[in-house]
A and B are shown apart, each in its own frame.
Chain A
Amino acid sequence: MTSINLALTAISLGAIAALSGIGVLVTYRTNGVLNFAQGGIATLVAYVFREMVVEWGLPIWLAAVLALAVLSPGIGLLLERLVFRPLARRRASAAESLVASLGVLVLTLGMTAGIWGLGSRGDAPSIFPADTVKIGDTRVGVDALAELAMVAVFCIVLGILGAKTKFGRQVRAVVDDRQLAELSGVPADKVAAAGWALGTTMAGLTGILLAPQFRLTPYGLTLLVLETFAVVVAARLASLPVAVLTALGIAVAQSELKQVTLDGDAGTVLTVLQSNLFIVMLLVLLLVVPRLRELGNGDSGSTGSFSSRGAPPSGPVSRDEARRDVLGKLGGAALLMAPMTFAPADLRSAFMVPALALIFLSLVILTGYSGQLSLGVAGYAGLGSLFTLKLANGDLFGLPAVPGIWAMFIGAIMVAPIGLITGWPAIRRRGLVLALTTFAVGAVVSRFVFEQPDFASGLYVDPLELFGAELGDKAFYLFELFCLGLGLLVVRSLHHGRIGRALLAVRDHSEGAAAVGVDVRSLKLLAFTISSAVAGLGGALLTFSASSFSTDDFAPMQSLLWFTAVVVFGADSAAGAIIAAGFIVAIDVLAPAGSSILAVGILALSLGWLPGGLASAVRGGIAWVARVLADEFVPSAHTTHAAANRLARAGGAVPGMAGAAGATRHGAAGSSGTSGSGGSGGGIRIVLPAGAPRPTPLGETLLVAVANHTARSGLTLEMLPSARAGEADSAERQGLAGPRPHLPGVPVERGA
């Protein structure tokens, strides 16, 4: 084929990539959301379209109308109303919107996979006839011309709309500041909804047009659409014409590469390039393009809102606090040990839990503690696994074969320098750009390493041996727990003391941290390096759990799913990471395959209502219940705030303050934003009515729990029967650990 012929065959793909890019840009410019779900929505619509034509036998035009004029915009309207409007209302950061869009992606993928399965289908109908038109001496498909025409029409219409019209101004106003737009009488919700509807319609169109060109698989088509983000990056998130030209340019270049043949390793690279130029260009553009024209005030890097906790207490912790902490850890350890008692098959299913937990811990380090988005963790995990297997097989850089267990640790450590190098771009990148960069790194690693037979075939997984004895199932599980323990130690050392505080400072305000002398650059690199090694270890364990290396385990889409899961379960919570792993494995074992994807997606969508993820919601829920219960016991007051004030005024010295040595109100964390009057008036006395029945042991325990949680939220609380107020004063000092008096005062044991 001549160059011209190759170029013409590429036009169709280029035009579709352009349409996809336009869709992403429309959503971004109208809502400030970089819509990762574009691929998932495209896939879902493509599947529904195929279902309508192939299974229901609807005429193609009718199916197209239903898919593009009803289903696609409907999805957009629904998403805006249920997911993104609540986020916009509370001025969520771009990072949170990004996570929500990942949630939508995961959800749509889960739906598609759940309904139609993961298998591929080659019978996706095309909306254009297969005719060709002769231009000069070559023939061009009607579809390519029609697609090109669509691109032109969209560009012109959107260009006109965006430039000088009232609607264009309103869109820009809504994106700039939704509240102010509403205050100015702009129907912000309608404008945002219109943006979403248009964006998802473009997504649906992309899916329907792409499906007949490839075999239709849920993951494949989704990833294909995500690769077109290269176009969006080239357009610096703003320029439609640049996006279109880049799309056509990459498509043509990819096609032209087919003329070239090279030998040896260069040939291998070239072969991969011939079908993966988009993802490579995504990475290259991200590294080259100096700055994207991001919307808003540049807070897109802030992950503070899904990492809600601060540093752990650095001072001495009271006995009760420490005891509860130890109890919690023992309980968790006992749960992790539980699979040891399972039947062999179930125990083998549980193998995945510690492995996944380690991978999730690596995300906790990176996102929860140091505030960097990472959508490429599967790359590190996969490399860890690959290095380990190659070392164990004696196949890595001519190194001698190493026993499996040692290979695992050495392999994990070998991932660290790769984490260091790939972390380099993160020094100057935040938020969306960093998310895209890490995603591109993961995808490129997957395409150029994991999917290459030269690297990733002929690997065999030998059972692990320790001191010459083969590890049985139980021993292997124990070994996994040992590795998880190591990971937890690493996490702990990164979260405590000087380094932990410095990391949190970088997470919450990196400029501020730099200003007070924190070495932001080194800390970010440290987080990337350690996190990649932990992920590598997790990846190796994952492979040994499954007894085989599968590229699917470390596909780029896995990174997105795993990241979403970690954020949902609390990005800053090590326990959350382990629970997330257990949750995913349990659901996949108990329910049909793919259900865990669906479950994580649904949970992710609730982030609009649950900032901080499930972990934080549970923490908040306990505090809320405690507050409500506490209110029940406070006589004649509708808020604890009012009660506290009233008591402070009326009583002067509130016994609660005397009894709680060192207890202070923690800032404004109580139920009142106006902590005032010298910060001294926060004591609440629970006065049981005279003659009220004595609490049962259960009731007593409940009250103690309530008091403790209320104390944590910044209020001091005290319970004593009204008749014996004086006596209880001395009793309450003894705290929970001491011998309990008949009706104990409830101590507040948390130090400042």
Chain B
Amino acid sequence: MTANPAAIGDTHLAVDPNGAPTAEAGLPAVELRLENARAGYRTIEVLHGIDMAIPSGAVTALLGANGAGKSTTLRTIAGLIPLRGGSLTWRGEQITKMTTTNRAKRGLMLVPDERAVFATLSVRDNLQIIAEASGHPDITPALEAFPRLQERLSQRAGSMSGGERRMLALARALLARPSVLMVDELSLGLSPKVASELFAWLGTVADAGTTVILADQYTEEALALADMVYVLHRGEITFAGTPAELGASELLAASAS
């Protein structure tokens, strides 16, 4: 797998630089745009200058093997990792310098792959915190979407099963009322049944107009939901396009772990 400059160019084919919908792709406006983004940890650079345009109100899937840079991309967008080069714009506005807290307050929500809930806090406090931060301190919508949480309200979040914690994490995301919802490894450690349920729920969120970005290795489910696909390999984008355009070879590479 090589870093193919032509593939990076494809990104721009799908959405024009001004963020207006393009005729051939039929995609809506650009919500988030990464340009030549470089990021990493300490001495290790993980993203070697990627270009990405996330369409508004659609589901974008980031695919790739372990270590491809999917999580790093999401964490960079959320502001947990600073950009070392390039730029990040949200609806045309530079947000490279904005703090994580402010991005979250303005509707950029990341559900991380690990430590996605406050383990030492009760389920109620987990929900309450994010509800208060979003300015709508009512937690009932979360309990309606995930009734199973109702009976566990006073339980410590850390003592729940992996699937329940994942549910709580998504319930929190729901209360945040984000305009962009990023979910890292939704299916990690979940049974296929629970994973399908959660993917289905994400579908309804996207249908309601939220921009959704999924980073997943569970390629099939993610592809079924996605309107736009990016395949990452070793910190470089090797494919950008619609799921239909994604060839068998890229699919194979993307799902290889």
B and A form one assembly:
yes
Interface residues of A (CB under 8 A from B): 166, 169-170, 172-173, 176-177, 179-189, 295, 297, 624, 627, 639, 641-642, 645, 649, 671-674, 676
B130 & A185 in contact (Cβ 8 Å cutoff)? yes
Instruction: From B43, B104, B116, B133, give the contact of A627 (CB < 8 A).
Output: B43
Cβ of A665 to closest chain B Cβ, rounded Å: 14
A649-B120 contact given A184-B133, A639-B45, CB 8 Å threshold: no
Interchain Cβ contacts within 8 Å, total number: 95
Closest A-B pairs by Cβ, 3 of them: A185-B133, A185-B104, A182-B100
Q: Assess the A185–B125 pair: CB atoms within 8 A.
A: no
**CB contact between B125 and one of A172, A183, A624, A671 (< 8 Å): that residue:** A172
Specify which of B44, B112, B235 is in contact with A183 (CB 8 Å cutoff): B112
In the bound complex, residues from chain B placing their C-beta under 8 Å from that of A674 are 46, 67-68, 234-235
Using a CB-CB cutoff of 8 Å, which residues 87-124 of chain B contact chain A?
99-101, 104-105, 109-110, 112, 115-121
Q: Do A641 and B45 have beta carbons less than 8 Å apart?
A: yes
A183 x B134 contact (CB < 8 A): no
Interchain CA distance A278-B166 in the complex, whole Å: 47
With A172-B118, A176-B119, A671-B43 as given contacts, are A642 and B129 in contact (CB-CB < 8 Å)? no
B160: shortest Cβ distance to chain A, in Å?
15
Q: In the bound complex, do residue B43 and residue A624 qualify as a contact, i.e. CB atoms below 8 Å apart?
A: yes
Residue of B nearest to A611 (CB): B42
> In the complex, A229 Cα to B222 Cα: how many Å?
53
Given A173-B129, A672-B44, A673-B67: A185 and B176 within 8 A (CB)?
Answer: yes
CB distance from A490 to the nearest CB of B (A): 35
24 A-B residue pairings within 8 Å (CB atoms): A169-B132, A172-B120, A173-B129, A177-B118, A179-B80, A179-B115, A180-B112, A180-B117, A181-B118, A182-B80, A182-B100, A182-B104, A183-B78, A185-B104, A185-B130, A185-B133, A188-B101, A641-B45, A641-B48, A649-B2, A673-B46, A674-B234, A676-B67, A676-B234
> Is B128 part of the contact surface with A, judged by Cβ < 8 Å?
yes
Nearest B residue to A672 via CB reads: B44
Decide: A180 and B43 in contact? CB cutoff 8 A. no
Q: Which residues of B contact A180 (CB under 8 A)?
A: 112, 115-118
Residue numbers in B under 8 Å from A181 (CB-CB): 118, 129
CB distance from A169 to the nearest CB of B (A): 5
Interface string of B172-207 (1 = CB under 8 A from A): 100010000000000000000000000000000000
Q: How far, in angstroms, from A183 to B104 measured CA to CA in the complex?
A: 6
B residues less than 8 Å from A627 (CB atoms): 43
A185 with B105: in contact, given A169-B129, A172-B120, A672-B44 (CB under 8 Å)? yes
Q: Which A residues are CB-close (under 8 A) to B104?
A: 182-185
Q: Is the CB of A295 within 8 A of B132?
A: no
Given A173-B118, A180-B112, A649-B2, verify A185-B43 contact (CB < 8 Å): no
Q: A170 vs B112: C-alpha distance in the bound complex, in angstroms?
A: 19
Distance (Å) between the CB of B104 and the closest chain A CB?
4
Residues on B with C-beta less than 8 A from A624 are 43
Is the Cβ of A671 less than 8 Å from the Cβ of B129?
Answer: no
Residues of B within 8 A of A295 (CB): 120
B interface residues (Cβ-Cβ under 8 A, vs A): 2, 40-41, 43-46, 48, 67-68, 78-80, 99-101, 104-105, 109-110, 112, 115-121, 125, 128-130, 132-134, 172, 176, 234-235
Contacts of A671 in B (CB 8 A): 43-45
Question: Which chain A residue has the least Cβ–Cβ distance from B48?
Answer: A642
Contact of B100 (CB < 8 Å), options: A170, A183, A642, A645: A183
When chains A and B are docked, how far (Å) is the Cα of A172 from the Cα of B156? 13
Would you give the shortest CB distance from A294 to chain B, in whole angstroms? 11
B45 cross-chain contacts in A, Cβ below 8 A: 639, 641, 671-672
Do A187 and B101 touch (CB < 8 A)? yes
- Per the bound structure, the CA–CA distance linking A586 and B68 in Å amounts to 50
Residues of B within 8 A of A188 (CB): 101
Q: Are A177 and B176 in contact (CB under 8 A)?
A: no
Instruction: Judge whether A183 and B48 touch: CB under 8 Å.
Output: no
Complex contacts, A170 vs chain B, CB 8 Å:
129
Contacts of B121 in A (CB 8 A): 169, 172-173, 176
What residue of chain A has the Cβ atom nearest to residue B40's Cβ?
A673
Cβ contacts under 8 Å, A649 to chain B: 2
Q: Could you tell me if A169 and B2 are in contact, using CB atoms closer than 8 angstroms?
A: no
Give, as a whole number of angstroms, the nearest-CB distance from B159 to chain A: 13
Residues in B with CB closer than 8 Å to A673 are 40-41, 44, 46, 67
From residue A397, how far is it (CB to closest CB) to chain B in Å? 52
Residue of A nearest to B99 (CB): A182
Query: Beyond A169-B125, A649-B2, A673-B46, is A183–B120 a contact (Cβ under 8 Å)?
Result: no
CA A295 to CA B79, docked complex, whole Å:
26
List, in ascending order, chain A residues with CB within 8 A of B46's CB. 673-674
Tell me which residues across on chain A come within 8 A of B43, comparing CB atoms.
Answer: 624, 627, 671
Closest Cβ neighbor of B80 among chain A residues: A179
Chain B residue numbers with a CB within 8 Å of A645 are 234
- The interface residues of chain B lying within 8 Å CB-to-CB of A166 are 132
A180–B99 Cα distance when bound, in Å, is 13
A413 to B43, CA, bound (A): 46
Nearest A residue to B132 via CB reads A166
Residues in chain A near residue B101, CB distance under 8 A: 182, 185-189
Chain B nearest CB from A446 CB (Å) reads 37
Complex CA–CA separation, A391 to B116 (angstroms): 62
User: Are A184 and B41 touching (Cβ within 8 A)?
Assistant: no
Q: CB-nearest residue of chain A relative to B130?
A: A184
Q: In whole Å, how far is A639's beta carbon from the nearest beta carbon of chain B?
A: 6
State in angstroms the CA–CA spacing of A383 and B172 once bound together.
57
Chain B residues, CB < 8 A from A173: 118, 121, 125, 129
Cα of A181 to Cα of B121 in the assembled complex, Å: 12
Q: Given the complex of chains A and B, what is the CA–CA distance between A627 and B43 in angstroms?
A: 10
Q: Closest B residue to A187 by CB, please name it.
A: B101
The closest CB in chain A to the CB of B119 belongs to: A176
Given A172-B120, A172-B121, 11 further pairs, Cβ under 8 A: A169-B132, A173-B121, A179-B115, A182-B99, A183-B100, A185-B101, A185-B133, A185-B134, A185-B176, A187-B101, A189-B99
Query: What is the CA–CA distance of A676 and B67 in the complex, to the nearest angstrom?
Result: 10
| A183 to B116 CA separation, bound complex (whole angstroms) | 10
* Least distance between A607 CB and chain B CB atoms (Å): 16
Assembly CA distance A295 to B129 (angstroms)? 19
CB distance from A235 to the nearest CB of B (A): 18
A649 to B234, CA, bound (A): 14
Complexed CA–CA distance, A73 and B41 (Å): 33
